[in-house]
Amino acid sequence: MAKYSTGSGGDSAGGSCELCGSEGGDLQTANVAGATLQVCDSCARDHGENDRTDTSGGSSDERDRRRKAAQNAARMQDAQKGDPSHWEDGADYDDDQLPYLVGGYGERVTEARQDEGLQAQELADELDLDEADILAVEQGRATQANVGGSTIRALEQRLDVELVESS
Protein backbone atom coordinates (compact mmCIF):
# COMPACT_ATOMS: atom_id res chain seq x y z
CA MET A 1 0.00 0.00 0.00
CA ALA A 2 1.21 3.49 -0.81
CA LYS A 3 2.42 5.67 1.98
CA TYR A 4 2.04 9.42 1.84
CA SER A 5 4.46 11.75 3.51
CA THR A 6 6.06 15.11 3.19
CA GLY A 7 9.41 13.60 2.39
CA SER A 8 10.73 13.88 5.92
CA GLY A 9 12.89 10.95 6.72
CA GLY A 10 13.43 7.72 4.95
CA ASP A 11 16.27 6.65 2.72
CA SER A 12 15.55 6.91 -1.01
CA ALA A 13 17.85 4.02 -1.91
CA GLY A 14 16.08 0.69 -1.71
CA GLY A 15 12.85 2.14 -0.30
CA SER A 16 9.40 2.11 -1.78
CA CYS A 17 7.62 4.75 -3.81
CA GLU A 18 5.65 7.04 -1.53
CA LEU A 19 2.79 7.21 -4.04
CA CYS A 20 2.26 3.76 -5.49
CA GLY A 21 4.30 1.69 -3.00
CA SER A 22 6.40 -0.09 -5.62
CA GLU A 23 9.67 -1.36 -4.24
CA GLY A 24 13.07 -1.55 -5.82
CA GLY A 25 14.56 0.67 -8.47
CA ASP A 26 15.84 4.18 -8.12
CA LEU A 27 13.60 6.71 -6.49
CA GLN A 28 13.41 10.38 -7.35
CA THR A 29 12.52 13.39 -5.31
CA ALA A 30 9.41 15.04 -6.78
CA ASN A 31 7.06 17.78 -5.67
CA VAL A 32 3.57 16.28 -5.69
CA ALA A 33 0.69 18.56 -4.66
CA GLY A 34 3.07 20.66 -2.60
CA ALA A 35 4.75 17.72 -0.83
CA THR A 36 8.28 16.54 -1.52
CA LEU A 37 8.13 12.77 -1.96
CA GLN A 38 10.42 9.91 -2.94
CA VAL A 39 8.72 8.37 -5.97
CA CYS A 40 9.41 5.87 -8.75
CA ASP A 41 10.07 7.02 -12.33
CA SER A 42 6.48 6.38 -13.36
CA CYS A 43 4.94 8.41 -10.54
CA ALA A 44 7.48 11.18 -11.06
CA ARG A 45 6.40 11.50 -14.71
CA ASP A 46 2.69 11.27 -13.91
CA HIS A 47 2.48 13.36 -10.75
CA GLY A 48 5.62 15.47 -10.35
CA GLU A 49 4.98 19.21 -10.54
CA ASN A 50 8.47 20.60 -10.95
CA ASP A 51 12.04 19.56 -11.52
CA ARG A 52 12.86 16.13 -10.20
CA THR A 53 16.15 14.92 -8.87
CA ASP A 54 17.15 11.30 -8.92
CA THR A 55 18.98 9.68 -6.02
CA SER A 56 22.35 10.06 -7.74
CA GLY A 57 22.04 13.85 -7.61
CA GLY A 58 21.32 14.47 -11.31
CA SER A 59 18.35 16.65 -12.28
CA SER A 60 15.75 16.68 -15.02
CA ASP A 61 16.25 19.75 -17.22
CA GLU A 62 13.16 19.37 -19.40
CA ARG A 63 10.95 21.74 -17.42
CA ASP A 64 13.79 24.22 -17.02
CA ARG A 65 14.33 24.26 -20.77
CA ARG A 66 10.62 24.76 -21.44
CA ARG A 67 10.36 27.55 -18.88
CA LYS A 68 13.45 29.31 -20.28
CA ALA A 69 12.14 28.98 -23.85
CA ALA A 70 8.82 30.53 -22.81
CA GLN A 71 10.64 33.35 -21.00
CA ASN A 72 12.79 34.03 -24.07
CA ALA A 73 9.73 34.08 -26.33
CA ALA A 74 7.99 36.51 -23.97
CA ARG A 75 11.06 38.77 -23.92
CA MET A 76 11.14 38.80 -27.73
CA GLN A 77 7.46 39.70 -27.92
CA ASP A 78 7.92 42.45 -25.32
CA ALA A 79 10.85 43.85 -27.29
CA GLN A 80 8.72 43.97 -30.45
CA LYS A 81 5.81 45.80 -28.80
CA GLY A 82 7.56 49.13 -29.11
CA ASP A 83 8.78 48.30 -32.61
CA PRO A 84 6.03 48.40 -35.28
CA SER A 85 8.34 46.97 -37.97
CA HIS A 86 6.80 43.50 -37.54
CA TRP A 87 3.33 44.86 -38.39
CA GLU A 88 2.15 44.70 -41.96
CA ASP A 89 2.55 47.85 -44.04
CA GLY A 90 -0.10 50.49 -43.62
CA ALA A 91 -1.47 49.22 -40.30
CA ASP A 92 -1.52 51.65 -37.42
CA TYR A 93 -3.06 49.84 -34.50
CA ASP A 94 -2.68 52.81 -32.14
CA ASP A 95 -5.12 54.80 -34.28
CA ASP A 96 -7.35 51.85 -35.25
CA GLN A 97 -7.71 49.93 -32.00
CA LEU A 98 -10.12 47.04 -31.78
CA PRO A 99 -13.00 47.87 -29.42
CA TYR A 100 -14.41 45.41 -26.88
CA LEU A 101 -16.60 43.02 -28.83
CA VAL A 102 -19.83 41.36 -27.73
CA GLY A 103 -19.87 37.64 -27.05
CA GLY A 104 -20.61 35.59 -30.14
CA TYR A 105 -19.66 38.42 -32.50
CA GLY A 106 -18.37 35.96 -35.08
CA GLU A 107 -21.67 34.14 -35.35
CA ARG A 108 -23.50 37.47 -35.66
CA VAL A 109 -21.37 38.53 -38.61
CA THR A 110 -21.61 35.16 -40.33
CA GLU A 111 -25.40 35.03 -39.96
CA ALA A 112 -25.88 38.62 -41.12
CA ARG A 113 -23.61 38.12 -44.14
CA GLN A 114 -25.45 34.96 -45.13
CA ASP A 115 -28.82 36.70 -44.66
CA GLU A 116 -27.61 39.30 -47.16
CA GLY A 117 -26.72 36.50 -49.58
CA LEU A 118 -23.05 37.46 -49.70
CA GLN A 119 -19.91 35.38 -49.78
CA ALA A 120 -17.05 36.55 -47.56
CA GLN A 121 -15.02 37.63 -50.60
CA GLU A 122 -17.98 39.62 -52.02
CA LEU A 123 -18.40 41.45 -48.72
CA ALA A 124 -14.66 42.11 -48.53
CA ASP A 125 -14.65 43.56 -52.06
CA GLU A 126 -17.70 45.73 -51.35
CA LEU A 127 -16.16 47.15 -48.17
CA ASP A 128 -12.61 47.29 -49.56
CA LEU A 129 -11.38 44.96 -46.81
CA ASP A 130 -9.23 41.84 -46.79
CA GLU A 131 -11.24 38.62 -46.88
CA ALA A 132 -8.85 37.24 -44.23
CA ASP A 133 -10.00 39.96 -41.81
CA ILE A 134 -13.65 39.13 -42.38
CA LEU A 135 -12.98 35.43 -41.90
CA ALA A 136 -11.01 36.18 -38.71
CA VAL A 137 -13.99 38.13 -37.35
CA GLU A 138 -16.43 35.37 -38.32
CA GLN A 139 -14.22 32.79 -36.61
CA GLY A 140 -13.98 34.87 -33.43
CA ARG A 141 -10.27 35.59 -33.94
CA ALA A 142 -10.39 39.36 -34.41
CA THR A 143 -7.92 40.07 -31.62
CA GLN A 144 -5.41 37.41 -32.64
CA ALA A 145 -5.58 38.52 -36.29
CA ASN A 146 -5.06 42.20 -35.36
CA VAL A 147 -8.28 43.26 -37.04
CA GLY A 148 -8.70 47.00 -36.69
CA GLY A 149 -11.67 48.86 -35.27
CA SER A 150 -12.46 50.34 -38.68
CA THR A 151 -13.14 46.83 -40.00
CA ILE A 152 -15.58 46.19 -37.16
CA ARG A 153 -17.33 49.52 -37.73
CA ALA A 154 -17.64 48.83 -41.48
CA LEU A 155 -19.15 45.39 -40.80
CA GLU A 156 -21.58 46.85 -38.25
CA GLN A 157 -22.79 49.50 -40.68
CA ARG A 158 -23.05 47.28 -43.76
CA LEU A 159 -24.64 44.27 -42.04
CA ASP A 160 -26.68 46.26 -39.50
CA VAL A 161 -25.37 44.25 -36.53
CA GLU A 162 -24.08 45.27 -33.12
CA LEU A 163 -20.57 43.98 -32.52
CA VAL A 164 -19.14 46.50 -30.06
CA GLU A 165 -19.93 46.01 -26.41
CA SER A 166 -21.79 49.07 -25.11
CA SER A 167 -20.59 50.34 -21.77
- pTM to 2 decimals? 0.45
Question: Phi-psi region for residue 12, left (φ > 0), alpha (ψ -120 to 50) or beta?
Answer: alpha
pLDDT in tens, 41-73: 877 777 766 544 444 444 556 667 777 777 777
Cβ distance 27 to 38 under 8 Å? yes
Q: What is the CA radius of gyration of the chain?
A: 27
pLDDT in tens, 117-165: 999 999 999 999 999 999 999 999 988 888 988 999 999 999 999 998 8
pLDDT in tens, 67-104: 777 777 776 666 555 555 555 554 454 567 777 888 89
pLDDT reported for residue 20: 82
Asked if CATH classification 1.10.260 holds for the domain at 105-159, the reply, yes or no, is: yes
